[in-house]
Amino acid sequence: MTLHSTIDRVTDRIIARSEATRRPYLDRMEAARAKGPARAHLSCSGQAHAYAASGEDKDRLATTSAGNLGIVTTYNDMLSAHQPFERYPDLIRDAVRSAGGTAQVAGGVPAMCDGVTQGEAGMELSLFSRDVIALAASVALSHNTFDAAVYLGVCDKIVPGLVIAAQAFGHLPAVFLPAGPMESGLSNDEKAKVRQQFAAGEVGREALMAAEMAAYHGPGTCTFYGTANTNQMLMEFMGLHLPGASFVPPNGMLRDALTQEGAKRALALSALGNDYTPVASVLDEKAFVNGIVGLNATGGSTNLLIHLIAMARAGGIILDWEDFSDISDITPLLARVYPNGLADVNHFHAAGGLGYMIGELLKSGHLHPDTHTVAGQGLEHYTAEPKLKADGLVWEKGAGESLNEKILRPASDPFQPTGGLRRMAGSLGTACMKVSAVAPEHHIIEAPARVFADQNEVKAAFKAGELTEDVIVVVRFQGPKANGMPELHSLTPLLSILQGRGQKVALVTDGRMSGASGKVPAAIHVCPEAVDGGPIARVQDGDILRVDAVAGTLDVLADDLDSRPNATADLSAAHAGTGRELFAMFRNTVGAATTGATIFGG
């Protein structure tokens, strides 16, 4: 199938825009490759330090060059999605030894759970944790004794942070090893209903706790299609997972086989062999365009509108929200996974999953077929699915048709002809909106503004019965420079209640929303943010705002907006406690959401 003209045009635009930064990056990676790992050139003392705890691998490390694999792990017991990683280092070492190589845990990096910190002070460290992860992973690999690396990560900021670090060491091959989703429990829709009932005072905390525990009940990724599972999708569309690895459940024989094969594959791609495939070759402009297509075709998390930009910049590639919007305009929405539908990721995987979807998008000309991947040349590899047979792990032809068209549809008959994301621009600045879960009757909202300085003020107004009319809730001073740009997902239940009462309701904020948010229209990531003097800082209670996801506009209908003074806010309470005082440097140096909200030259 011929490549869609918009995909071709946007890719060329990105290549041209990135020319001044991409070429120097590739030159640096080539210089690092030519120099090679320092393992053989370390002093005897340095080598002794590096190998001292390697047990049976010590002699092999000191005397042979079969390849040494660095393991960067985000294992902890706080994240259900990351708990299965506890077993991975031993699995990886055994697999690599069988191939004649060695493996060492290069380092562990922090990984926080956004589910635990929603609505709490810790959420103000969440976005910054991505850049901390990148820094920590770089420290882990700085020993420069590795021929390739594997990255153990799944959740929200973790995969983007690891990708940023992987590109800093882009001369090395890298395979990302997931853990898989937890088994389906209480449906996400039922869980959301109980949350709304609790917010409305219809059920008590005991009922809420029972519902939450039934939904989040074991090891593995949360089963809704939020940021964590969007990350997993991207790693396949962009060629950093083994094909079909994303949504295989934890701790089973197939998952273990995929983990071990991924480790062996990483070493096979090193400069020591004949299939050298560094990260710098995998993550090119075409790979990022394929990722944006996947984001739109699945109705993925809005967080990736920030993360993909930051990830790309780490490799010298400059993305713009206009790229996302243009691709969204021509990408069919092929999946309905909660919050865009009732199914969870396990149902999606059973219906044909990513392999079927990639096959459909290749046939329709929406994906670059000729990308480098860890599975080999060409994205066609990712239409196959892994099977564990008596003689080992094999890949077989994937589903040729959807097994449930309520969840997954062909490109010729999509849920809607355009993707799930919109760029918004107007007198309030630039923003974005996830529209894949928003009913068409809510795509245009014009209503009076009610302005708040934080989410707790919104909750107090709701409890006091003040939000009884049509309203556009404006929550400002939530951008990266103000307080780290927290997710405001805890507002979703009460805003959903207002919408359910028949009120016109929308959210406008310079903060973020969770990847789990859906049916209430939300213009988020507003730039410039309030603390930078953006127009959102001049909105007043009662101003008529218009949020138009059809036209892609975001406006305040007031003639005197530019002449008003900027509002201010006392942010001191958000700058101390729960470690926030240690992140002043991040708040002072972070770039705008439009450039990835990163401290790395954003």
Q: What is the 3-state secondary structure (H, E, C) of 311-356?
A: HHHCCCCCCCHHHHHHHHHHCCECECECCCCCECHHHHHHCCHHHH
Write the CB contacts of 341 (distance below 8 Å, at least 6 apart in sequence).
Answer: 335, 406, 407, 437
**Is the pLDDT at 185 greater than 80, yes or no?**
no
What's the pLDDT at 339?
A: 85
**Is the pLDDT at 197 greater than 80, yes or no?**
yes
Annotated binding-site positions for [4Fe-4S] cluster: 155, 222
What's the pLDDT at 118?
A: 85
What's the pLDDT at 524?
A: 96
**Is the pLDDT at 516 greater than 70, yes or no?**
no
What's the pLDDT at 375?
A: 98
- Three-class DSSP category at 63: helix
| 300 CB burial (10 A radius; 0-12, 13-18, 19+) | buried
- Assigned token pair, 136: 């920590």
What's the pLDDT at 406?
A: 95
**Is the pLDDT at 602 greater than 70, yes or no?**
no
What's the pLDDT at 370?
A: 97
d(CA 167, CA 281): 10
Q: Residue 180's pLDDT band (boundaries 50, 70, 90)? A: very high
Annotated binding-site positions: 155, 222
Calculate mean pLDDT across residues 117-141.
Answer: 94
The residue with greater pLDDT, 261 or 43, is 261
| Segment of 176-190, 209-223, 228-242 carrying the highest mean pLDDT | 228-242
What's the pLDDT at 515?
A: 60
Convert the pLDDT of each residue in 474-495 to its tens digit.
Answer: 999 999 999 999 999 889 989 9
What's the pLDDT at 466?
A: 97
DSSP string, 172-229: S-EEEE---BPPP-S-HHHHHHHHHHHHTTSS-HHHHHHHHHHHS-SSSB-SSSSHHH
What's the pLDDT at 517?
A: 64
Convert the pLDDT of each residue in 361-403 to its tens digit.
Answer: 999 999 999 999 999 999 999 999 999 999 899 999 998 899 9
Convert the pLDDT of each residue in 76-122 to its tens digit.
Answer: 998 999 999 999 999 999 999 999 999 999 999 999 998 888 888 99
What region, left, alpha or beta, does residue 542 occupy, with left being phi > 0 and alpha being psi -120 to 50 degrees? left
- Assigned token pair, 361: 């998008």
CB 147 within 8 A of CB 69: yes
Domains along the chain with CATH numbers? 5-183+218-397 (no CATH), 421-595 (3.50.30.80)
Calculate mean pLDDT across residues 68-83.
Answer: 95
| Closest to 172 (Cα-Cα) out of 144, 196, 191 | 144
**Where is average pLDDT lowest: 60-64, 462-466, 508-512, 522-526?**
60-64
**Is the pLDDT at 174 greater than 90, yes or no?**
yes
Cα Rg of the chain (Å, integer)? 24
**Whose structure tokens read 């992860």?**
133
What's the pLDDT at 189?
A: 77
What's the pLDDT at 212?
A: 74
What's the pLDDT at 485?
A: 96
- Three-class DSSP category at 68: strand
Average pLDDT, the chain: 93
CB 447 within 8 A of CB 472: yes
Convert the pLDDT of each residue in 328-358 to its tens digit.
Answer: 999 999 999 988 888 989 999 999 999 999 9
pTM of the entire predicted model: 0.94
**Is the pLDDT at 25 greater than 90, yes or no?**
yes
Convert the pLDDT of each residue in 527-536 to its tens digit.
Answer: 999 999 999 9
Q: What's the Cα-to-Cα distance from 96 to each of 23, 58, 149, 203, 457, rounded to whole Å?
A: 34, 14, 12, 53, 54
d(CA 178, CA 165): 17
Convert the pLDDT of each residue in 276-319 to its tens digit.
Answer: 999 999 999 999 999 999 999 999 999 999 999 999 999 999 99
| Closest to 334 (Cα-Cα) out of 304, 307, 306, 355 | 355
